[in-house]
Chains A and B, each alone.
Chain A
C-alpha cells in the first residue's frame, strides 16, 4: 500500500507539479517561430520608411540626422566595422525625388561597368508596397548589387541598394530582408 502511494505521489509530482512549476518559466521570450522573430527595425529620421534587419550580424551605421538615410552593414569580421576589407553586405536606403522605375534605371546607369543580371521587374513587399527591382554586377570591383525602388509619399521614391560579394538572385535572406521594407502608411 505504501509503495502504491509512493508511485502515485511520484506520478503526480512528474505529471502535474513539474510541468506547472518549471515549464512555463522557460522560454518566455518572443515567439521564435513567428516571421522575422528576433529581427530589429531601423526607421528613418523622417519616419517615412523602416527596414528590418537581423542583428547580429547586421549593424546600423550612424548617419547624419535629417537626411532620411539608413545604412546597414555586415562587417567582414564578426563584430568589427573597420577591418579593412569591404563589408560582406551593405544596405543603403534613401528617399529621392521621382518615380520608382526611372529612379531604378538611373541608378543602374550610375554604377560604372554594370552588367545587368536581372532586368528591372516589378517588386512587391510584404506590406504591399509596390516598386521595381534589378540585379547588376560591377565588373570593376567584382561586387553584386540588388536595387529596389518603392513608391513613397510626396512624389518620391525609396531607393534601396544592397551590395554584396555573391550573386543575390538566389539569396533568400537578402530577398526576405528587402520584402520586409515598409513604407508609410505602415502595415501593422
Chain B
C-alpha cells in the first residue's frame, strides 16, 4: 500500500501538494506543514513528490504477498 512521508523540517508549508493531490489526501496542519489527513485514499501516484520543490515528501510503497494482511 502507498503512503506519504513528510519531512517537516524541509516542508515550507507552501501548500502546492495540498493543491495538486489528485485524491485530496493532504492538508496543512496547525504548524502549516503538509499532513496526510486522508492517507487511506493515497493512490501512490507520486504527484506530490514531483510537485514538491523542497523534496519534503516521499511516497512509500509496501508490496504485498499473497496471504499477507
Q: Do A and B come from one complex?
A: no
On A, residues with C-beta under 8 Å from B are: none
On B, residues with C-beta under 8 Å from A are: none
